[in-house]
């Protein structure tokens, strides 16, 4: 066999092997029904519910966790790019928190471990461009609100005093309760004999077949927790609004990005890993609650699910790791119907009452 033929055979063999591995991985991946609810400590979760809505957890007392994670929006905020702390603005879309307890990685760049929620809560509460709070300050604020202090002692003991790390643990306990409701798709995934609407049934087949969605969107939440480059265009607001650019550059500096002042785009996972191939990679988002959490993608560039599916169908944008799918208009609509069907309606969530400070001035 001549040299070029041997080389061609090696290349074809490698391609065939890679294709077989990729195909096998796609075939082995699957969607899974929502598991039973998490076991939580009721008193701790109740305290966390109060604290999630408490604006005095922010530096100036103006905003709470719920300011950017609204229950009616799947615990996202409905904005392309989320708000920052007063005097700042942020450069990414606020992710929804439905079933956050089941996420393997947190943040669009995957820098936080989903298995450990309290540190993630701490980062959101104390970071300068989110809530800008000092843990010692907010624990004293809680101590001066009789109703919150009583809830604290129900959760941690009659003689306990507010303490920052326990505060973050309480909010994390509340977050563990944020599962969506059961859907017909979940029942099908469990093996129940239920009839799906025709478009949903077609979309479910496309999701695991021609649409190739299952390669990255699998498991309980519809995400593999890994980061990919899709070539989503930059949100122009980041370059046009100085407060967003300042926050982006501050993020790069905090993460130790080399020559960070020259990096004027969102680098995604590269800011975490510093590996050149990770530029522009973002973690696969979860699909549960999707109809409630738009706009979509890490920078809110798509207003509707129809736009998201069309973008994937065309193979993404420049530098994308996606391949064109060749879906028909009917198939794209069927995929959207399936994505909507896998999310239950958002039940209303009551906000806790607002409590005032204790005014008598005596220490407790």
Q: Indicate the range of 11-15, 198-202, 291-295, 299-303 predicted with least confidence.
A: 11-15
Q: How far is CA 190 from CA 15, 87, 193, in A?
A: 36, 48, 9
Tokens linked to 26: 């796609």
Q: Whole-angstrom Cα distance, residue 270 to residue 253?
A: 13
Q: Whole-angstrom Cα distance, residue 22 to residue 209?
A: 13
Instruction: Give the pLDDT confidence of 186-223 residue by residue, as tens digits.
Output: 999 999 999 999 999 999 999 999 999 999 999 999 99
Phi, psi (5° rounding) for residue 76?
-110, -165
Q: Whole-angstrom Cα distance, residue 195 to residue 99?
A: 25
Instruction: Give the pLDDT confidence of 114-173 residue by residue, as tens digits.
Output: 999 999 999 999 999 999 999 999 999 999 999 999 999 999 999 999 999 999 999 999
CATH homologous superfamily for the domain 42-175: Cytochrome c-like domain (1.10.760.10)
What was the pLDDT predicted at 358?
86
Q: Whole-angstrom Cα distance, residue 108 to residue 95?
A: 8
Closest CA to 50 of 152, 120, 130: 152
Parse the chain into domains and list their residue ranges.
42-175
């Amino acid at each position: 066999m001549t040299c070029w033929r041997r080389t061609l055979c090696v290349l074809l063999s490698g391609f065939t092997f890679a294709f077989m591995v990729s195909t096998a991985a796609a075939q082995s991946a699957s969607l899974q029904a929502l598991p039973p609810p998490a076991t939580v400590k009721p008193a701790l979760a109740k305290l966390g519910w109060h604290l999630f809505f408490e604006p005095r957890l922010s530096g100036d007392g103006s905003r709470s966790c719920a300011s950017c994670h609204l229950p009616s929006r799947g615990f996202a905020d409905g904005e392309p790019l989320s708000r920052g702390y007063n005097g700042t603005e942020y450069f990414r879309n606020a992710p929804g928190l439905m079933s956050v307890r089941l996420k393997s990685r947190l943040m669009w760049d995957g820098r936080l471990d989903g298995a450990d929620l309290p540190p993630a809560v701490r980062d959101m509460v104390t970071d300068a461009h989110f809530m800008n709070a000092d843990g010692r300050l907010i624990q004293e604020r809680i101590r001066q609100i009789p109703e919150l202090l009583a809830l604290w002692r129900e959760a941690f003991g009659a003689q306990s005093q507010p303490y920052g790390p326990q505060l973050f643990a309480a909010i994390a306990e509340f977050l563990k309760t944020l599962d969506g409701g059961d859907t017909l798709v979940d029942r099908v995934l469990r093996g129940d004999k239920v009839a799906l609407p025709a478009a949903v049934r077609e979309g479910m087949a496309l999701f695991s077949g021609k649409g190739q969605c299952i390669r990255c969107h699998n498991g309980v939440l519809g995400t593999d927790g890994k980061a990919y480059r899709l070539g989503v265009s930059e949100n122009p607001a980041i370059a046009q609004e100085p407060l967003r650019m300042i926050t982006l550059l501050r993020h790069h500096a905090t993460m130790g990005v080399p020559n960070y002042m020259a990096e004027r785009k969102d680098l995604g996972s590269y800011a975490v890993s510093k590996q050149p191939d990770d530029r522009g990679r973002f973690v696969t988002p979860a699909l549960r609650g999707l109809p409630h959490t738009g706009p979509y993608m890490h920078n809110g560039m798509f207003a509707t699910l129809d736009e998201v599916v069309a973008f994937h169908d065309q193979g993404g944008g420049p530098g994308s790791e996606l391949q064109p799918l060749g879906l028909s208009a009917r198939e794209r609509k069927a995929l959207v119907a399936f994505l909507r069907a896998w999310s239950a309606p958002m039940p209303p969530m009551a906000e806790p009452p607002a409590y005032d400070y204790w005014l008598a001035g005596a220490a407790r």
